Amino acid sequence: MSDTNPNTAQATHTIQLTLKPGQHDGDGQRVAEAAARHLGLTTGRVRSAALYTVRYPLTETQLHDFATRCLADPVLHDVRLNELTAAEGFATYILVARRPGVTDDEGTSAQNALADILNEPLDVHTQHIFSKKLYLLENDLPETDLRRIAEELLGNKLINWLEVGRVAYGIRDYTPRPGGGAEAITEVISLTGRTDAELVQLSKENIYALNLEEMRAVRDYFAAAETQAERKAAGLPTDPTDCELEIIAQTWSEHCKHKEFSAIINYKDLETGEEKQVDSLFKTYIKNATSEVDRQLRANGNDWLIKVFSDNAGAVRINPDSLFVWKVETHNSPSAIDPYGGAITGILGNNRDPLATGIGGARLLFNTNVLCFGNPEFEGQLLTGQLHPRRILEGVRKGIEDGGNKSGVPTVNGAIVFDDRYAGKPLVYCGTGAVMPMQFAGLDSWEKKIDVGDRIIMAGGRVGKDGIHGATFSSIELDETAPATAVQIGSPITQKLAMDFLMLAARRGLLKCSTDNGAGGLSSSVGELAGISGGAVVELERVPLKYPGLRPWEIFVSESQERFTLVVEPGKMAEITALGQEMEVELTDIGYFTSDGFLDVRFDGAPVARLNMHFLHDGVPRKILEAEWTKPAVAEPEILAQTNYTETLTQLLGSLNICSRESVIRQYDHEVKGRTIVKPLMGATGQAPQDAAVVRFNFESWEGVAVSNGIIPRYGDLDAYDMSAGSFDEAVRQIIAVGGKLPNLTPGDGIFWSVNDNFCVPDSVYDPTSNPDGKQKLAKLVRMCEALRDATAAYCIPLTSGKDSMKNDFKADGVKISVPPTVLYSMTAKMEDVRRAITSDFKQADDVVYLLGETYDELGGSEFYALHGQLGANVPKVDFAKAKALYTLIGQANDQSLIQSCHDLSDGGLAVALAETTFGYGYGAVVELPETDLPLATQLFSESHSRFLATVAPEDVVAFEQLLGDRATRLGRVTLDGQLTVRHAGQPVIAANTATLRAAWTNGPVNQLLGVVSKDNLSHSNSL
């Protein structure tokens, strides 16, 4: 496949850019350092070079001008044309190219520049320029070491073509062959006469991810006399085509259909003997709970809940003019095998959900992300196919950075959770908030309407083999044989162009509606939209391809990224096509909607698939699953009481789950758009961690939204119900802490809340051999859902969208690593005036420090116990009624401007919160713990829910105490001296310099690992 033929090589030019002597080669230096640090390899000096292979007819002068004027920076670069040689003193090389069809944004940009300098129209969708990287290494490393550097640090062999070797033997180049057409082959796969075992085998071999019962249902559909007659009349073979089976597999995948959340579950509580049948977790605990919340809201004049569960994202009304659109979902499996690609397509894919809600064209406001990883300092043996947690962390972080930054969407909020059980499959949750006008060109923006004859338009990127089987692949457990094609490659620039186009097309009334091409590609997007009109005809030969050799079924199910499916009325085609050309977004008319009840797919007029829509969407057999709850046998540990906990606090601040994430946070742009009011880190130091983000909607109003994330998986080891309830409460109280208010407290107050639930659990389907504890895992899921229902009812907070990821297991070498059952609640709430937001850090000396809420003997699952290697038993429980009463009072206190700072208590309890609130400026505090029955360590480190650390100005103390009553415990005051002193019964139990505490937190393992470590007392500003 590479260019070895001398005849074709003549048409190919190579441009090499190297840094001029004396210019700092940061890229090369990083490779040398990473090889030493992560692989223990000594490379000597490493020099990097950029290579561009140009396969386009150019004269020598044109080539020279293009290289020197467009590609090279005259200050930085030397240029070499058509010679692939190394400078003196380098023994070995690594060349990183891309495999055929892999998105090459750099090549595309170079092509753009070539078109400009030649002033010739150059089809930018055909690849003429291929970008590559060349690394020259000083030391003569053996090929195996070079391969390790190449595969573990520089590229991913699923995506990249990697050449390594000795310079002396010549540098081997690689360029994929040029593009062409599709491979019009459709095969017929007979299901009749296959045994059960053969059906299961077929499903596994083709990654259909369908179980026996589902395969039988498919077989029966095709065997039915009615189906046979219809197929004969339409000119299709009796047996299904490969495309038809693929469409069914994508549509029925767990990823798309949520079969386990829709299943009938027989639940037994072995503790109490209680037995019950749950008729769909989704319906019972999520949909019905939200319906009940909506009923209560509307009864009270709060009718802001506009669209829930039925579109790509949930929508609530901000004010009479605009909607807030909110979506969070996961991208776990792709991130496990290609961390960078998985995360960037996760965030870009999630962006497409609000962008393609209703008519489409919402304006993205912010991104969030929550990441769960194994211990990045893991030093054991990795399983076959398993990537090191540190590598996953670094790749995912970079993917989130590029996905958000390059799209111009601020990443305003996030969290990272470490637990060894995420070492097989990481969890990568991506969230996006957006604002959409209530109407586009006189039509309700949130509606999806389609009429017969409307055209189906594919917009954005082209189709390749990347991402084939993403939907089905993520619906099964991951093992060492993960298919290469399941990896997707993101191109933020392609999506940015499509996004700009979509916003304008919607505002001009050119779009009837839209959806994104995510899991299942066109088969899912067109399949779902066709459900609205009652059918569709798709002409696959029209779909533009990245490269040749795709079969029709591959075109239809490919998950190539950055694509939208648009619905356009025939009369508006000319105008929208012109707009697409103007904005350089490729639009392709690939068919039209019908109402005949069939999804009809053709290639060059020949039938490729024709499926009954009713069967496709409703034909999947319901699952019946078994759940059994046994209370885990746990006990409270004996931990020797101490008289001074300064050292314990310092250790906690530097622990993996509490320490600063600054090195990660600062690589995300959290303030593009200029609307971020509460950022992840605040204060004069820029190092005070905040509980929730606050973002204003625009520059004309002070209305905004608070954004929080609740996730505490470790409590699930004690009780999944309490874990889920606590996670929900955590997200609620974070919003209360920044000055948000609970919904529906007063009639017609219009304070919207919009929550996404995201469940990530290990395989919870019982199997006596492969999953013997499946019933217990499913029982945990049931309990998580019960808590969710109770929490939504208690706070009157609705869910608007969500997702479940059911097979988060990694299996290799006979070992299975399963994630702990995890749920993330991602919450947004309207802030009437962002200027009233409260930040967590202390504001002024002599302000009075209060503990709000009650502390219980609840060290179970705490970071304090984890520090002692213990789990404990007393998991924190939420008292919803008490919590609601407290949150309501805090809202009232804030209305009266009585609160100067507020920080929610979570990991590490009161002691950690006290330390963190000093990080913003360098204040200290003197605090006296109250006399209670609780042991000292419990008072300091218990993680009881629904608590805050707040400060109040001396002049407001009387009003504040009158309002809060016994819910506020006065602890002490803020001091100027930078000392944190905590006393108990008159004795100091913590005494530390807050700068030292901040240094322990800042120099924790995350910042150490990612390279940049802040200096003590170093401030971003000079105002101190």
Partner 1 sequence: MAQDSAQGAHKVQPQAQNDASGSAGAVRALILTGFGINCEEEFAAAYRLAGAEATIVHLNQVLHGQVSIHDFDILNFPGGFSFGDDLGSGVVLANKLRYRQTSADGRTLLDDIKQFIADGKFVLGICNGFQVLVKLGLLPNMGGDVTPEVTLTHNASGRYEDRWVTLRVNPASRTPFLTGIDKLEVPVRHGEGRLVVPDEATRAAIEAAGLNCLSYIDANGDGTSEYPLNPNGADLNCAGLTDPTGQVFGLMPHPEAFLAAYNHPDWARRRRQNPGASEEGEGLQIFKNIVAHIGEKHATAAPAVQLASQN
Site for partner 1 in 888-917 (CB under 8 A): 900-901
Question: Any residues with CB less than 8 A from the CB of 106 and at least 6 apart, and which?
Answer: 131
> Which CB, 209 or 694, lies closer to partner 1?
694
Least distance (Å) between residue 408 CB and partner 1: 2
Residues 681 and 689: beta-carbon distance below 8 Å:
yes
Cα 824 from Cα 430, distance rounded (Å):
11
Site for partner 1 in 630-669 (CB under 8 A): 666-669
Site for partner 1 in 303-332 (CB under 8 A): 318-322
Buried b (16+ CB within 10 A) or exposed e, 242-269: bbbbbbbbbbbbbbbbbbbbebebbbbb
Residue whose pair of structure tokens reads 């059994």 in the numeric block: 628
Contact pick of 272, 481, 769, 1021 for partner 1 (by CB under 8 A) = 1021
- Name the β-bridge partners of 367: 411, 432
Site for partner 1 in 986-1015 (CB under 8 A): 1011-1012, 1014
Site for partner 1 in 833-852 (CB under 8 A): 834-835, 837-839, 841, 843-844
Cα 597 from Cα 611, distance rounded (Å):
8
- Residue 143 sits in the site that holds partner 1 (CB under 8 A): no
For 340, phi then psi, to 5°, come to -65, -50
Least distance (Å) between residue 1014 CB and partner 1: 8
Least distance (Å) between residue 802 CB and partner 1: 27
Least distance (Å) between residue 1023 CB and partner 1: 7
Contact pick of 168, 197, 881, 1024 for partner 1 (by CB under 8 A) = 1024
> Which CB, 332 or 676, lies closer to partner 1?
676
> Which CB, 357 or 491, lies closer to partner 1?
491
Tokens describing residue 156: 């991913």
Least distance (Å) between residue 681 CB and partner 1: 7
> Which CB, 27 or 444, lies closer to partner 1?
27
Question: Any residues with CB less than 8 A from the CB of 142 and at least 6 apart, and which?
Answer: none
> Which CB, 750 or 909, lies closer to partner 1?
750
Residues 948 and 905: beta-carbon distance below 8 Å:
yes
Contact pick of 352, 670, 811, 973 for partner 1 (by CB under 8 A) = 670
Residues 264 and 623: beta-carbon distance below 8 Å:
yes
Residue of 207, 516, 122 whose CA lies nearest to 356: 516
The sign of the CA dihedral 787, 724, 912, 935 is positive
Site for partner 1 in 679-708 (CB under 8 A): 679, 681-684, 686, 696-703
Neighbours of 132 (CB within 10 A): 24
Contact pick of 57, 121, 605, 674 for partner 1 (by CB under 8 A) = 674
Site size toward partner 1 (CB under 8 A) is: 97
Contact pick of 1, 11, 36, 76 for partner 1 (by CB under 8 A) = 76
3-state secondary structure 233-275: HHCCCCCCEHHHHHHHHHHCCHHHHCCCCCCEEEEEECCCCCE
> Which CB, 661 or 803, lies closer to partner 1?
661
Cα 758 from Cα 197, distance rounded (Å):
34
Contact pick of 78, 105, 444, 528 for partner 1 (by CB under 8 A) = 105
Interacting span for partner 1 (CB under 8 A) from 19-27, 649-657, 728-736, 800-808: 19-27
Least distance (Å) between residue 708 CB and partner 1: 18
Interacting span for partner 1 (CB under 8 A) from 40-48, 674-682, 868-876, 999-1007: 674-682
Contact pick of 136, 393, 497, 720 for partner 1 (by CB under 8 A) = 497
> Which CB, 666 or 884, lies closer to partner 1?
666
> Which CB, 424 or 492, lies closer to partner 1?
492
Angular region, 544: left φ>0, alpha ψ -120 to 50, beta rest = beta
Contact pick of 7, 59, 119, 195 for partner 1 (by CB under 8 A) = 119
Identify the three-state secondary structure at position 830.
Answer: strand
Residues 721 and 272: beta-carbon distance below 8 Å:
no
Interacting span for partner 1 (CB under 8 A) from 192-200, 533-541, 829-837, 879-887: 829-837
- Residue 157 sits in the site that holds partner 1 (CB under 8 A): no
Cα 824 from Cα 727, distance rounded (Å):
7
> Which CB, 267 or 668, lies closer to partner 1?
668
Least distance (Å) between residue 117 CB and partner 1: 5
DSSP string, 183-201: -----B---TT--HHHHHH
Cα 288 from Cα 315, distance rounded (Å):
17
Contact pick of 363, 512, 775, 947 for partner 1 (by CB under 8 A) = 363
Site for partner 1 in 169-228 (CB under 8 A): none
Residues 433 and 323: beta-carbon distance below 8 Å:
no
Q: Which helix (H) or strand (E) holds 552?
A: helix 552-557
- Residue 126 sits in the site that holds partner 1 (CB under 8 A): no
**Contact pattern from residue 383 through residue 422 relative to partner 1, giving x for each residue in contact according to CB under 8 A and a dash for the rest:** ------------------x---xxxx--------------
Site for partner 1 in 514-573 (CB under 8 A): none
- Residue 439 sits in the site that holds partner 1 (CB under 8 A): no
Contact pick of 12, 62, 68, 112 for partner 1 (by CB under 8 A) = 112
Tell me which amino acid residue 515 is: T
For 423, phi then psi, to 5°, come to -75, -20
DSSP string, 926-952: EEEE---SS-HHHHHH---SS-EEEEE
Tell me which amino acid residue 607 is: P
> Which CB, 322 or 335, lies closer to partner 1?
322
CA 276 to chain centre: 35
Residue of 530, 541, 520 whose CA lies nearest to 598: 530
- Residue 749 sits in the site that holds partner 1 (CB under 8 A): no
Site for partner 1 in 41-70 (CB under 8 A): 69-70
Tokens describing residue 570: 């025939």
- Between the two ends of the chain, the Cα-to-Cα distance in Å is 62
> Which CB, 551 or 830, lies closer to partner 1?
830
Residues 844 and 899: beta-carbon distance below 8 Å:
no
- Name the β-bridge partners of 610: 600
Least distance (Å) between residue 544 CB and partner 1: 20
> Which CB, 332 or 660, lies closer to partner 1?
660
Interacting span for partner 1 (CB under 8 A) from 283-291, 577-585, 755-763, 939-947: 577-585
The sign of the CA dihedral 765, 767, 770, 775 is positive
Neighbours of 193 (CB within 10 A): 7
Interacting span for partner 1 (CB under 8 A) from 229-237, 453-461, 495-503, 539-547: 495-503
Residue whose pair of structure tokens reads 């697409």 in the numeric block: 580
For 925, phi then psi, to 5°, come to -155, 150
**Contact pattern from residue 581 through residue 600 relative to partner 1, giving x for each residue in contact according to CB under 8 A and a dash for the rest:** -xxx----------------
Contact pick of 283, 287, 496, 868 for partner 1 (by CB under 8 A) = 496
Contact pick of 32, 110, 371, 913 for partner 1 (by CB under 8 A) = 110
> Which CB, 397 or 945, lies closer to partner 1?
397
Cα 428 from Cα 653, distance rounded (Å):
24
Residues 829 and 946: beta-carbon distance below 8 Å:
no
Site for partner 1 in 612-631 (CB under 8 A): none
> Which CB, 140 or 321, lies closer to partner 1?
321
